[in-house]
A and B are shown apart, each in its own frame.
Chain A
């Protein structure tokens, strides 16, 4: 029963210890491949035909390493593969590998329908939180279910596509990525470009007129509710390696969020809970997405600089389409090939000079294989605990996000320190750990509301409280709320009792009902839920009905919530209430065959 403060002290002690006896936490290697090019289909099929047998061979040669990869497909590619299955049996080929557990299926929506003509959240015409929620839900629904013209992105009414098509063709995805709509702030059809560091004077480097469009990254609560309704158990890709929305401060945010979300050695900067879905990031401060074709040295360099005071999850991209491309087509305006296709609708296939000769492709794959060999033969035997992990492995290894019970004694003990840390600060502590479980702010709110509801009914606090899934508020009040006035414990309990009922309502609706409330009216003032969370914590610690509690200002964003890179406006980012570390509970170690 320790709060995060104690844990931080322990972590500090841990690092001091590490200086004299360097602790070396595990590296988990997450192998993955993206096969999403439905235009240059020969390349896509070749990716699969080279990669899958390679994985199988390594799985057989090093069974203790648990070699497995998540292969991400798009809906358009799945359709294209189905169409050529009669000739090449490529779908059947892939399925046998899925069935044998050599690969897991993933869905990535980033490359479809097109980069600029894709589901769009038009914020210029929306005003209420519910309207914005529904706009986003509609956009996410398009990714998950609708077919689009594979080159223009035009909606093909009545036809299935996206995640639904991948499901139909290959089965239930274990990991989902790329549910990234466009967000529209103004007129125009292109999205913002990156800011380059221009040379002064030579010529004015003028930014083009802004389009008012940007990719919406960082949060996807509306999609999560759709996936939940479809009973998905998939994990999701967290923070991307690339700054696709051109967010300022992306690198700092990514790095510092990783620190904030991994307070203990058995938590990884790349692994966290958001909206009750496990997320695995491509990058953190020291970890970047590894391209396998860069070979062993690139991986060694990353391992050397990883920092091993916590577990890390390293994503390794196999069978990249870059293996097939000449240097001019592996970066810049001509990359990826689908971008070329979308911009050359009349002749979308890559020109011949874009493709490498077979021996060059072979060389790229040889570098990838050398990396796999180094990982299995050198790194893992020398680094006990490090291993490959699949999406399903990660799900199984982390402690459950919800569904557990917290004892009242444990809760009250932790709350004392929680409030001590909060003090008079205007921001809430990010996370709490009670009875051996990490809790998000949303979960803490739900748990305290339940406890006080019982107190309101019976005059006594319950012996324990169950933690259940809740979403953040659909509108964040970004101000700190009032900083004067008082409220009795009895009144707090009465309000909490009313809120608790809603927090458990999982019945269908346009927007979910089990969300943290947007605001809580108290004595004519509107408190934000962070303020009320603090009052509830104080009430549980001092359950005297007549006791008076001071109302203090507080914002809703914790440090972790602020740091996570996101392009969605702060007022719509209620998901930050649901962030918390993912604790690795079951560690299975690599054992070298003797």
Chain B
């Protein structure tokens, strides 16, 4: 949650009075910064305080205050820790037992006014040498008022809750990380992680458990990514304890990336001719080899696809020409599932030219590894197509072409395929690498073939064939109709991530007030399917199969798809989940009709007006009332009953990534502007923001509607822009975003700036 700047401005406090974190004395003490300002352009900015907020008039939230004493590592001296909270309450004093953890918890006064700032100081005294060191920890009282909305039209209370949840979650990951020094590739390396693979150490526990530790190496990648997207990088400030965590995690995780010589893949069909449905939107049938006789013939979704016009087509994916492809050897054996987390974590460093320390890629740049992973996913995509023109019912099995399964070229599986898709998106948007058209052309065939449609009217008398089917849903290895194992809410959002890769997004539909309805409704029907079920209660009888918000894995893919929604090639994150079904989302007059802010919605139980909580409050609630263990900052167990689910260990990292509303990069958060009325010239809006790492330019986009959709009004190679384009008028409010670009790829979408032009 990144509402900090706006909250600060709103509070009227002058933060330049705060000094950067102080480290002084012989003992080095580090405290966790809320915003470490990893980009050099903001290093001079004042340290931003952590959040505390009143739960009610008498009870304040309990916050975690993380700090370490790196100089005490390996020391045999005795140390004492003293936390002075700066609010008049007694200090907390204790003997140091773990130099990586001198944290404490605290409740500031609930009566404090919003905007109150406390400067806590943690002092560590080496009682053996009588030396000491201190560092400050800044805390601000934020609002828990859910009736007030911020500039993005979201309840301000949510930002407070999310910020505190993130602090707890990141510190939990820090606490449970094992650290050691080892030899890898003949070099001494300081690494650490959360995996249980050879060379690891046991994870330190919190209250007897380390819920975010898992057996496989990909847990390191996922946890590192969670730190990174929250602004903590391996090349971040040395005063940030998490900088060391990320550096160690990266050193460990690259050990699990293997490579092989590239091999070609041969596609056996033309995606231009296999990506179709019947012109009346019914399902092609085997009875006429998919000719859609009596249903208007075939409608082709992607007729200009050129990936393989004369099959068979032999393709060798080798984007950097090094002849290698890379994949996860993290111990799980599930290559397609576990490879892209490594890619995401590397992209999230924001440093394509950084060099790996360990493993087969020691000495190679992150960009090289990322490209080789993309090559692996290209090679692994299933090459053949068994659809109705070859006598098979559409959606029946795992060999309908264009997607991924556990290993290379094994078949199609929607759960697996989201990881391939997110890998391609990350490499493309985060590092500016090429997303091959063949990948998206063939994947679109799968997206079309595996989607549930209303069944075609049969030749026989089935009066119910148009009674309504799972329109828009997806199953595991085909359509939901034929593959409904464990419900649709793991795999339907996974298909949405694939659509985001393919450029299949929202289209016109009169149900949404558009003047016309486009033929391509693939995204709309799937979004509608998910939206219709979004508010299902998270209850014992529903479990994950029937309640999307009860299942973290599916929720994570859904979040990715909303943030990376891509309609026809333009990144267009979605704020309001919408549905064609009437009367689904009611009660909140502050959001567009029959829609819900999928991230920021708040139910009445949590102070809002929405029919249910969105992703953010859902995650906050899960953390505060954990399924397993007691509250300590982790997430675990919001999955199937099945006790040996390996997914659960990843929940903490997934939650932290979702709460930050990003996937592989922390985006521009401080877009601001002011309007100038017409005078000597037309009305204008001046915008400023801070630099996005690696961005080569910025697209500036505007909407007259809160939350978009936005239309490009120009671009800038710097961090300012003046909009003097037509359409602006005095007295009107406009909503702006900027989209940093690397080459031609939009990296992400900034915060929305709401600007009113004076009369």
Contact = CB atoms under 8 A, between A and B. Distances in A.
B611 interface: yes
Interface stretch (A36-44, A378-386, A422-430, A508-516): A422-430
Contacts of A477: 464, 467-469
Given A195-B405, A201-B260, A255 B640 contact: yes
Interface in B506-523: none
B486 A553 contact: no
Given A248-B483, A426-B533, A559 B541 contact: yes
Contacts of A285: 641-643
A209 B386 CA distance: 8
A555 to B, nearest CB: 8
A206 B409 contact: yes
Nearest to B285: A127
Contacts of B384: 209
B268 to A, nearest CB: 10
Nearest to A307: B643
B40 interface: no
Contact of A207 (B263, B410, B461, B543): B410
Given A200-B380, A210-B386, A256 B469 contact: no
Interface string A191-209: 0100111111110111101
Nearest to A183: B396
A519 B467 contact: yes
B325 interface: yes
Interface in B437-466: 452, 454-455, 458-462, 464
Given A205-B410, A212-B391, A426 B263 contact: no
A423 B645 CA distance: 30
A557 B391 CA distance: 29
Contacts of B542: 425, 427, 559
Contact of A562 (B461, B486, B583): B486
B584 to A, nearest CB: 7
B486 A252 contact: yes
B689 interface: no
A569 B470 CA distance: 12
A127 B263 contact: no
Contact of B584 (A195, A212, A483): A483
B332 to A, nearest CB: 9
Contacts of A247: 485
Contact of A201 (B325, B382, B486, B641): B325
A250 B409 CA distance: 22
Interface in A553-594: 553, 557-559, 562-563, 565-566, 569-571
A187 B391 CA distance: 6
Contact of B393 (A131, A185, A253, A255): A185
Interface in A360-398: none
B526 interface: no
B325 A425 contact: no
Given A128-B461, A259-B641, A202 B260 contact: yes
Contacts of B405: 195
Contact of A251 (B398, B535, B642): B642
A8 interface: yes
B710 interface: no
B543 A186 contact: no
Given A201-B260, A204-B409, A185 B397 contact: yes
A558 B536 CA distance: 12
Contact of B260 (A200, A479, A558): A200
B407 A205 contact: yes
Interface in B412-433: 413, 415
Interface string B617-653: 0000000000000000000000011110100000000
Given A204-B408, A569-B481, A195 B398 contact: yes
- Which of B263, B407, B537 has the most A CB atoms < 10 Å from its CB? B407
B704 interface: no
Interface residues of B, number: 80
A253 B464 contact: no
B411 interface: yes
A507 B543 CA distance: 39
Contacts of A186: 286, 386, 390-393, 396
Nearest to A127: B458
A94 interface: no
A538 interface: no
Given A200-B260, A210-B399, A256-B486, A526 B334 contact: no
Nearest to A206: B409
A421 interface: yes
A573 to B, nearest CB: 8
A143 to B, nearest CB: 23
Given A131-B460, A256-B545, A479-B468, A197 B333 contact: yes
A462 B717 CA distance: 78
B406 interface: yes
A200 B396 contact: no
Nearest to B455: A571
B482 interface: yes
Contact of A256 (B286, B392, B532, B543): B543
Contacts of A562: 484, 486-487, 545-546
A124 B394 CA distance: 11
B407 A256 contact: no
A247 to B, nearest CB: 6
B263 to A, nearest CB: 7
Given A127-B458, A255-B642, A479 B396 contact: no
A171 interface: no
Contacts of B541: 4, 8, 260, 421, 429-430, 558-559
Contact of B546 (A187, A207, A559): A559
Contacts of B171: none
B735 interface: no
Nearest to B407: A198
Interface string A422-455: 0111110110000000000000000000000000
B392 A570 contact: no
Contacts of B482: 185, 569-570
Contacts of A248: 398, 413, 415, 476-477, 483, 485
B406 A198 contact: yes
A199 B263 CA distance: 13
B582 interface: yes
A198 B640 contact: no
Contact of A425 (B334, B415, B546): B546
B470 A124 contact: no
Contacts of A198: 335, 406-408, 410
Contact of B535 (A4, A424, A429): A424
A38 B243 CA distance: 69
B562 interface: no
Which among B482, B546, B643 has the greatest number of chain A C-beta atoms within 10 A? B546
B157 to A, nearest CB: 24
A481 interface: yes
A131 B471 CA distance: 24
A456 interface: no
Nearest to A565: B485
Interface string B459-503: 111101001111100001100111111110000000000000000
B481 A201 contact: no
B498 to A, nearest CB: 17
26 contacts: A128-B461, A187-B392, A192-B397, A197-B406, A205-B409, A209-B399, A210-B386, A210-B399, A212-B397, A214-B397, A248-B483, A252-B640, A256-B486, A427-B542, A475-B462, A477-B464, A477-B468, A480-B468, A483-B532, A483-B581, A519-B467, A526-B467, A553-B532, A559-B543, A562-B487, A566-B484
Given A196-B410, A478-B470, 19 more contacts: A123-B393, A187-B391, A195-B406, A195-B410, A198-B335, A200-B335, A201-B261, A205-B407, A205-B410, A212-B386, A250-B485, A260-B543, A426-B533, A475-B462, A518-B467, A526-B464, A526-B467, A562-B487, A570-B482
Q: Which 4 A-B pairs have the closest CB atoms?
A: A479-B468, A201-B260, A249-B485, A198-B407
